[in-house]
């Protein structure tokens, strides 16, 4: 699996986005094992969280499983 994290949780400097406050981003991409209903399926996960006011953190997460043996692995498969 490959994992990417935003190193620092800083608020945007833009006046338009400063209300978001400090924010974090995590992304990962991996391949599941062969011992599954659909062998060698791929998985992508992402999470973004932000702190608009002190003591309140809002997070949004998404996990996508696609591809694997006999299945399509192109961009439209992930997006649809």
Predicted pLDDT of residue 1: 84
Those residues with Cβ within 8 angstroms of residue 7's Cβ, 6 or more apart along the chain or in another chain:
none
Those residues with Cβ within 8 angstroms of residue 39's Cβ, 6 or more apart along the chain or in another chain:
33, 68, 69
Domain spans, the chain: 2-6+20-79
Predicted pLDDT of residue 73: 78
pTM of the complete model: 0.73
Give 10-residue mean pLDDT values along the chain (80 residues).
88 91 94 86 94 95 89 73
Predicted pLDDT of residue 80: 66
């Amino acid at each position: 699996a490959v994992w990417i994290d935003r190193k620092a949780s800083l608020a945007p400097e833009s006046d338009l986005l400063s209300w978001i406050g400090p924010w974090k981003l995590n992304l990962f991409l991996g391949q599941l094992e062969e011992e599954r209903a659909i062998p060698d399926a791929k998985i992508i996960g992402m999470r973004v969280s932000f702190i608009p006011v002190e003591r309140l953190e809002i997070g949004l997460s998404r996990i996508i499983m696609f591809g694997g043996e006999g299945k399509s692995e192109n961009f439209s498969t992930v997006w649809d």
